[in-house]
Amino acid sequence: MLVIQELYRQQRAMYERRTHRIEDRIVSISQPHLRPMVRGKASAPVEFGAKVSVSMIKSYAFWERLSWDGFHEGVTLIETLEACRKHFGCFFNL
């Protein structure tokens, strides 16, 4: 019921403001956490789902970040390097 109320609130706000955009817009009633991510690809300009940041070190995968909203990988670069240094004792363990 809360999802439907929020969806109605968003739709009404967009109608009143005469716009097609709103922050954290619900695009799926069954999965309200999904957000569209504009990728600009020819085959699919908009994608849905989680975005995951993963680091590979010596065949081990380290899950750095998971978000249902789009994010720039450069934002997590310093955090990722510091976690690598803390875990392995250096920035790059080759």
Q: Do 41 and 6 sit in the same domain of this protein?
A: yes
Look up the pTM and report it: 0.54
Q: Is residue 94 part of a domain?
A: no
What pLDDT score does 91 carry? 67
| Residue showing tokens 């109608």 | 15
| Domain around 55 | 51-88
78 φ, ψ to 5°?
Answer: -65, -45
What pLDDT score does 92 carry? 60
What pLDDT score does 12 carry? 95
pLDDT tens string, the chain, 94 residues long: the values are 899 999 999 999 999 999 998 888 888 888 888 877 777 777 778 878 788 888 787 788 888 888 887 777 777 888 888 877 887 777 664 5
Q: Is residue 93 part of a domain?
A: no
Chain Cα centroid distance, residue 66: 7
Q: Do 13 and 27 sit in the same domain of this protein?
A: yes
